Structure 1
Amino acid sequence: MKKEQRIKKSKEFQHVFQKGKSMANRQFVVYALEKKGQPYFRIGLSVSKKIGNAVVRNRIKRLIRQALLEMKEQLSQEVDIVIIARKPTSDMTYEEVQKSLQHVLRKLPVLTNKK
């Protein structure tokens, strides 16, 4: 993910939480906020210390980033997305993470069907 495609500031996270729509499954909570005129989608990741140590948390973040990178053609470009990982993600493989993320993103109308 490029630097301009990341949500880093607390204020930006809070804006997405308050104004955006949310959807969840057992592994992820996803907030999405449509932003008209934005040339690219932006991603914010949150993985709690309850999930595991730094190694585990960073592994989960890498898996999520890679899954989103492979889905970038299908993702709406005018959107900010915040993904919160839940406890079950610590034991998941890459394929499971990708499938679970696709499931949640389809429920939110963020993922299109184009390939």
Structure 2
Amino acid sequence: MLSTAHRVRTATDFSHTVRSGARSGCRNLVLYAVGTGTGTPSRFGFIVSKSVGNAVTRNLVKRRLREAAASALAQRPVGLDVVVRALPPAASASWFDLSSDFERCLASSVKRFSKSGGRKEDGK
């Protein structure tokens, strides 16, 4: 479980991350990452719409993504805001597929963000 300090909670934070973050997509999800500075803890947010499935399926996907985020938090504890949007194929994906897509997309987004020299944070 992610603590409150490690969750993206407000609509403003979600929209800022999605609009100005480095985007990376895989078969099961789309991930947006933006740098927040060195002193702030990394935070994760999840978007799982009804197109993914019924409430039971959506909650299963969210629990799996939260667990993947918790393991990624150990590697990158500070400086990132990440929003993960689950796509409909995530409903039938195995835990292994979902977690490997998450890790691959996170690494790709961080790499893209790093290449831009951190300018994505300011929306420039």
Same topology, TM > 0.5: yes
Q: Deviations over 1:62-93 (max 9, x none)?
A: 00011121222222520100000001110112
**Structure 1 range deviating more: 43-52 or 65-74:** 65-74
Q: Distance in 2 between matches of 1:38 and 1:81?
A: 16
Q: Confirm whether residue 88 of structure 1 aligns to residue 58 of structure 2.
A: no
- Give SS of 1:44's match: strand
Letter in 1 for 2:66: R
Q: Which runs of 4+ in 1 moved over 4 A?
A: none
What percentage of residue pairs aligned between the two structures are identical? 26
How large is the RMSD of aligned CA atoms in angstroms?
1.4
- TM normalised by structure 1 equals 0.88
Q: Map 1:34-53; keep pairs closer than 5 Å.
A: 34-53=35-54
- Give SS of 2:50's match: coil
Letter in 2 for 1:103: R
Q: Distance in 2 between matches of 1:80 and 1:62?
A: 18
If each structure's helix is expressed as a fraction of its own residues, which one has the higher value?
2
Unaligned runs of 5+ in 2: 112-124
Letter in 2 for 1:55: V
